[in-house]
Amino acid sequence: MKREFQVQSGRNLRCKGWRQEGLLRLLENVLAIGEDPDNLIVYAALGRAARDWPSHDKIVETLMTMEEDDTLIVQSGKPIGCIKTHVDAPLVIMANCNMVGQWAKAEYFYELEKKGLICWGGLTAGDWQYIGSQGVIQGTYEIFMRIAERYFDGNLHGRFILTAGLGGMGGAQPLAGRLAEAVILCIEMDEKRIERRLADGYLDRQVASLDEALAAVRAAQGAKQPLSIGLCGNAADLYPQILAAGVIPDVVTDQTSAHDLVYGYIPAGYSLAEVKELRKTDTKRLMEESTRSIARHVTAMLGFQKAGSIVFDNGNLIRTQAKNGGVADAFSIPIFTEAFLRPLFSRAIGPFRWIALSNDTGDIAKIDDLILERFPDNKIVTNWIRLARQHVPFQGLPARIAWLGHGDRTELAVAVNRMVREGVLSGPVAFTRDHLDAGAMAHPNIMTENMRDGSDAIADWPLINAMVHCASKADLVAIHSGGGGYSGYMTSAGVTLIADGTSAAENRLMLSLTNDTSLGVMRYADAGYPDALDEVERKGIRHFQLANAKN
Ligand code: NAD
């Protein structure tokens, strides 16, 4: 059966309430804008919305028929059953891709996946929170701006950023680079991905050769003209060639799917078709070839670093894979979270999002206005909203992201819920956030690398986070694990709330969002970050500042 991927618009309900309908529309949305919806793949190589089509169809059927006091249980993308709870309990709880410690290895994941026993939900695929490239665009933009402030007198005019990967998330890079007013060259193996980013308005132009690319970069740098350029090719070939040519970019990073040596990264010397075949016939060889290429790729990144480029890992585990491939100093490249974003996370300022369930872009515009009016002194957010409303195209249901923190998220969501109630907005709004958020993720190679107190690998925090949301009446709560090779590298928690205008929704939003960011600040305060300790004081968060007894 050929499937159509569409999201229901307007105010017509197919479910028994807006909470269920909202979650159903979010599921439809992640597929409508996903990278390979026929295979239920949303982003990041294997990030799936459901385990298989029968699972998907049963989830849809359940959302359409369940009562408000039912809770649907999803295990690695497969609906297991429904239990009777109460109207304040989550409608959906899910755990995706959590494997027991000693078993959490890539090879075992692939084996279980083949048997149909598990699936990886990424961060926002399995729990239906993905909003397209916009989901990471402000984060990428903020990183570029922090680099501008720290190294380039506050702006990136005439500066050259080199990166790779134009997939679901990496596709945000060209637009984030252009918004930061830089010249950004993006290398991508798959022609179709380049075409998609051009069509979506995330990429300005495509060039046919490296010479043409470097000439275009030089011209745009000379004219101090922001520009994003796509070049089809393999980063493991092209990064070393650029370095050998003596062209040293100001900033270098990468967002290929290096976390996955089989279904993500494309090794040099292989066409997409050859890799597709190897996935079926010889995954061991493919893993070896990918590791070899990543080693070359990262060695070139280290070469750029030695030559003066600002180089950072943008959360795709490329350093870990390179280290496994023999690049001993791969971790000389810093991770973006520690290098640029930790002061924000210490105050639980992170990637908060909202999605207009009616599909009316006017609703997002009204919420933009509300933010500019309510948070005039928050420069990060007001600057972003002005840029985003002018330059960031919507994909699927209209959505917005803004890095808001403790108290501000709740204030915004409650105000929006009132706008829904008063009919100012044309329909309910979903609130969610990335899992890469203060209290919601333990990932020792990304989110929690080099924590001040050494608590990098402690996964209690995201588990507590999910329990906090269940105790705080959230509509959907998810616990995910995975990272490199989909296992063993991280644990995280996700949450979604539907602002349907009711007073029950207002209560849910107040509890869940306030407690989410409270926990985020507590996590960083507990690790001894001064910004978090200050936030505890300023915002009256009830954190017990107990010293850790050493045994
Ligand atoms: P994706 O699978 O949709 O896209 C990856 C792209 O990389 C594909 O288009 C692929 O063709 C391309 N590619 C693979 N190998 C290549 C090579 N050698 N040379 C050139 N291009 C190559 O993945 P995505 O959703 O864009 O995510 C990319 C990575 O970023 C993942 O590892 C993901 O886990 C990570 N990620 C980081 C953050 C963050 O917050 N920093 C957020 C989301 C995802």
| CA of residue 2 relative to chain centroid, distance | 29
- Assigned token pair, 203: 């990429």
Could you tell me if 128 and 477 are in contact, meaning their C-beta atoms sit under 8 angstroms apart?
Answer: no
- Return the bridge partners of 476, or none: 92, 496
Q: So what's the pLDDT on residue 497?
A: 98
**3-state SS track over 351-412:** EEEEEECCCCHHHHHHHHHHHHHHCCCCHHHHHHHHHHHHHCCCCCCCEEEEEECCCHHHHH
Crossing angle for the helix pair 379-391 and 361-374, to the nearest 10 degrees: 160
- Assigned token pair, 8: 């229901």
pLDDT at 93 over 90: yes
**Ligand 1 atom 25: the closest Cα is on which residue?**
44
Pairwise CA distance, residues 74 & 430, whole Å: 20
Strand, helix or coil at 490?
strand
**Ligand 1 atom 43: the closest Cα is on which residue?**
169
What is the biggest distance separating any 2 CA atoms in the chain, rounded to whole angstroms? Answer: 65
CA distances from 20 to 129, 143, 201, 411, 497 (A): 14, 36, 32, 24, 11
pLDDT tens figures, 334-345: 999 999 999 999
End-to-end CA distance of the chain: 62
CA of 180 to the centre of ligand 1 (A): 21
CA of 316 to the centre of ligand 1 (A): 7
State the DSSP H helix or E strand holding residue 136, giving kind and residue range, or none if neither. helix 134-151
Mark out the alpha helices in 209-317 (DSSP H runs): 210-222, 235-244, 272-281, 283-306
State the DSSP H helix or E strand holding residue 302, giving kind and residue range, or none if neither. helix 283-306
CA of 168 to the centre of ligand 1 (A): 7
Which atom number of ligand 1 is nearest to the Cα of residue 170? 26
**Ligand 1 atom 16: the closest Cα is on which residue?**
266
pLDDT tens figures, 262-311: 999 999 999 999 999 999 999 999 999 999 999 999 999 999 999 999 99
Give 341's DSSP letter: I
pLDDT tens figures, 474-518: 999 999 999 888 999 999 999 999 999 999 999 999 999 999 999
Which atom number of ligand 1 is nearest to the Cα of residue 260? 32
CA of 124 to the centre of ligand 1 (A): 14
Q: So what's the pLDDT on residue 485?
A: 84
Could you tell me if 356 and 364 are in contact, meaning their C-beta atoms sit under 8 angstroms apart?
Answer: yes
Q: Among 237, 241, 257, which is best to mutate for testing ligand 1, by the most ligand atoms less than 8 A from CB?
A: 257
| Percentage, residues of the chain above pLDDT 90 | 96
CA of 545 to the centre of ligand 1 (A): 39
Strand, helix or coil at 132?
coil
Strand order in the sheet with 310-311: 205-207, 227-232, 183-188, 160-164, 251-252, 310-311
Which atom number of ligand 1 is nearest to the Cα of residue 139? 40
pLDDT tens figures, 125-156: 999 999 998 888 989 999 999 999 999 999 99
Which atom number of ligand 1 is nearest to the Cα of residue 193? 9
CA of 219 to the centre of ligand 1 (A): 28
- Return the bridge partners of 490, or none: 482
Position 449: which residue type?
E
CA of 233 to the centre of ligand 1 (A): 14
CA of 167 to the centre of ligand 1 (A): 5
What are the structural domains of the chain?
A: 134-334 (3.40.50.10730), 344-538 (3.40.1770.10)
Could you tell me if 178 and 227 are in contact, meaning their C-beta atoms sit under 8 angstroms apart?
Answer: yes
Q: Among 196, 232, 256, which is best to mutate for testing ligand 1, by the most ligand atoms less than 8 A from CB?
A: 256
| CA of residue 494 relative to chain centroid, distance | 11
pLDDT tens figures, 519-538: 999 999 999 999 999 999 99
Q: Ligand 1 pocket by C-beta < 6 Å: which residues?
A: 35, 43-45, 136, 139, 164-170, 187-190, 193, 234-236, 255-259, 264-266, 314-316, 436
Could you tell me if 315 and 339 are in contact, meaning their C-beta atoms sit under 8 angstroms apart?
Answer: no
Crossing angle for the helix pair 53-65 and 18-32, to the nearest 10 degrees: 150
pTM, whole model, 2 decimals? 0.94
| Residue pointed to by tokens 């995954």 | 283
CA of 443 to the centre of ligand 1 (A): 17
Could you tell me if 403 and 138 are in contact, meaning their C-beta atoms sit under 8 angstroms apart?
Answer: yes
